[in-house]
Chains A and B, each alone.
Chain A
Amino acid sequence: MSRTFLMLIRRDLLLAHRQGGGSLLAIAFFVLVVSLFPLGVGPAPEMLERIAAGTIWVAALLSVLLSLDRMFQADLEDGSLDQLALLPIPLALVVLAKTIAHWLTTGLPLTLTAPLLGLLMQLSPDAYGALVAGMLLGTPILSLIGAIGAALTVGVRRGGVLLTLIVTPLYIPILIFGVSAVEAAAQGFAISAHMLFLSALLSGTIVIAPIAAAWSLKLALD
């Protein structure tokens, strides 16, 4: 079972690599959106420093949203979702493997890019740790919640907008804790409470989201 699970992750990474551009597009979008802000609000460092955390987090959230709609749709269209559903492991584990692959190709690269954008946004030097730690805990939750939305809209033509409407409200808690952790760190406060909240959210969603997404996929296949 664990070999099949690891093989599924490798499969999705291989496909992302072959089809090209999956994570590059998300990173390019992330960088472009954030770099619009210094142009839009002006290069004054105090101003940028104040909006840095929010801008980076919102842009990361949007980049993840953009990458969600193909999560299961490509597999549904060519019939390979049938084959994945018929693997001798529970469908929830298939979903979890695909979600991990999705995080490895979007959430992780975004997290690694974020400090560079912090430089661009004049982020306070004390806040880099909180930004990266928050995104390391937060982006997997984005992928997990996104998997539910992607599974619910998998059979819907042009379901991207619907997916955004379903998923965005659920992203709000992660945004709040992620941004306030960065701001707390910038002002010299402890961030352990924020990290604990994000960890709790992650522990909850990693159990619930694959099961919920698997149920929606079963409905789509039925």
Chain B
Amino acid sequence: MQGQVSTAAAVLEGRDLAALRGERLIFANLDFTVSAGELLKLVGRNGAGKSTLMRMIAGLVTPFAGQISWHGSPVRDDPDGFCADMIYAGHQDGLKTALSAAENLDLFARLRGIRSQPADQALAAFGIADLADLPVRYMSAGQRRRVSLARLLVAPASLWLLDEPLTALDTSAIEQLGSVVDAHRDGGGMVIAATHADLPGSPGKVLEIVPPDPFEDDAEPSA
């Protein structure tokens, strides 16, 4: 099975990517592929450009060089079609604190136009069904993170981009995220996660982002 996955046709492919921040080249000549059902874990020390690569894949940051393809054609040719099949969970929650958890999820699903699961079910998958009607303003950081991850379940998308998804999560929530990710991959979904800690569930590919400057290359990536 493992061998089949790696030889399967790549759905998402990044080739020769480079990111420039200010005057500094953060990474260069970066290649990756993700096929159906795969998990790609981005590792690298702080400032290596994990979040930048994540935002680049999402289409928020324009690559300084290189190209990202989705189903064989460049994303920039049809950004809306790509966006419709992708959910980006950034390290900011993107929740409206004046609205309740369920309202935030409903809004997300309605804006995207298709709903895959009711908000209650999505919240239950992350163990916070009882908080559905609580305004996000009154929630803790971990609870907000759970609500923001529950968005993955209310609207269908085959690609999930998770930037530091484990921040502020307790062990039970991490387990729940692991099983949600596994279920998504079993259905042929793809996940790219930037995280230092290990995501529970079946392991995936690892992409280490290293700085392009050889003089900075000697440090170990932080665990």
Question: Which residues of A are in contact with B by a Cβ distance under 8 Å?
Answer: 3-4, 7-8, 11, 14-15, 18-19, 78-80, 82-90, 221-222
Residues of B contacting A4 with CB < 8 Å? 111-113
- The reply on B32 being an interface residue by CB < 8 A is no
* B61 contacts A by Cβ under 8 Å: yes
Q: Told that A8-B111, A78-B95, A82-B92 touch, could you supply 14 new A-B pairs with CB distance under 8 A?
A: A4-B112, A7-B110, A18-B99, A78-B94, A79-B91, A79-B93, A83-B94, A85-B60, A86-B60, A88-B112, A88-B113, A89-B80, A221-B60, A222-B60
Q: For A15, A19, A80, which residue has the most chain B Cβ atoms within 10 angstroms?
A: A80
Q: Which of B58, B91, B95 contacts A80 (CB 8 A)?
A: B95
Residues of A within 8 A of B91 (CB): 79
Q: How large is the interface on B (under 10, 10 to 19, 20 to 34, 35 or more residues)?
A: 20 to 34
With a cutoff of 8 Å between Cβ atoms, the chain B residues found around residue A90 in the complex are 80
Pairs A-B, 9 closest by C-beta atoms: A79-B92, A88-B84, A79-B94, A18-B98, A88-B80, A80-B94, A88-B83, A83-B94, A221-B60
Q: CB-CB < 8 A to A222: which residues of B? A: 60-62
Tell whether A11 pairs with B98 under 8 Å between CB atoms, given A78-B93, A86-B59, A222-B62: no
Q: How far apart sit A8 and B113, CA to CA, in the bound complex (Å)? A: 11
Q: Across the two chains, which residue of chain B brings its CB closest to A3?
A: B113
Verify A14–B80 contact, CB threshold 8 A: no
- Cα of A160 to Cα of B24 in the assembled complex, Å: 30
Kindly provide the distance from the CB of B82 to the nearest chain A CB, expressed in whole angstroms: 8
User: Which of B58, B62, B84, B98 is most buried by chain A, counting CB atoms within 10 A of its CB?
Assistant: B98
B142 at the interface (CB under 8 A from A): no
Name the A residues within 8 Å of B221 (CB-CB): none
B212 contacts which chain A residues (CB < 8 A)? none
| Inter-chain contacts of A82 with B (CB < 8 A) | 55, 58, 60, 88, 90, 92, 94
A123 smallest CB distance to B (angstroms): 38
B222 to chain A, nearest CB (A): 24
* B107 at the A interface (CB under 8 A): yes
The reply to whether B112 and A87 form a contact with Cβ atoms under 8 Å apart is yes
Give chain B interface residues in 185-210, CB to chain A under 8 Å. Answer: none
- Residues in A whose Cβ lies below 8 Å from that of B95: 78, 80
Contacts of A8 in B (CB 8 A): 111
Structural contact, A87 and B92, CB atoms closer than 8 A: no
A154 to chain B, nearest CB (A): 14
Taken residue by residue from 93 to 110, chain B's Cβ proximity to chain A (1 for < 8 Å, 0 otherwise) reads as: 111111100000001101
Over the window 32-48 of chain B, the binary record of Cβ atoms lying under 8 Å from chain A Cβ atoms (1 yes, 0 no) is 00000000000000000
> Does residue B86 face the partner (Cβ distance < 8 Å to A)?
yes
- Expressed in whole angstroms, the minimum distance between the Cβ of A160 and any Cβ of chain B is 21
Closest to B60 in A: A221
Q: List 14 A-B contacts (CB under 8 A).
A: A8-B111, A15-B96, A15-B99, A19-B98, A78-B92, A82-B88, A82-B90, A82-B92, A83-B108, A84-B111, A86-B60, A86-B88, A87-B111, A88-B112
Instruction: Let me know if B81 is at the binding interface, CB within 8 A.
Output: yes
User: In the complex, what distance in Å separates the CA atom of A15 from the CA atom of B100?
Assistant: 11
Chain B residue nearest in CB terms to A5: B111
> Quick check: B81 and A88 within 8 Å, CB to CB?
yes
Q: How far is the CA of A80 from the CA of B110 in the complex (A)?
A: 15
Taking CB as reference atom, which chain A residue is nearest B58? A86
B26 to chain A, nearest CB (A): 13
Interface centre among B62, B94, B112, by most chain A C-beta atoms within 10 angstroms, is: B94
Minimum distance in angstroms from A7 CB to a CB of chain B: 5
The complex places the Cα of A7 from the Cα of B61 at a distance, in Å, of 26
Q: Which residue of B lies closest to A20 (CB)?
A: B98
CB neighbours (8 Å) of A18 from chain B are 98-99
The residue on B at minimum CB distance from A84 is B111
Chain A: which residue is nearest B56 at the CB level? A222
Chain A hits for B80, CB < 8 A: 88-90
Least CB distance from A211 to B in Å reads: 15
Expressed in whole angstroms, the minimum distance between the Cβ of A218 and any Cβ of chain B is 8
Chain B nearest CB, measured from A209 CB (Å): 21
Contact mask for chain B residues 46-86; partner A; CB cutoff 8 A; 1 contact, 0 none: 00000000010011111000000000000000001101101
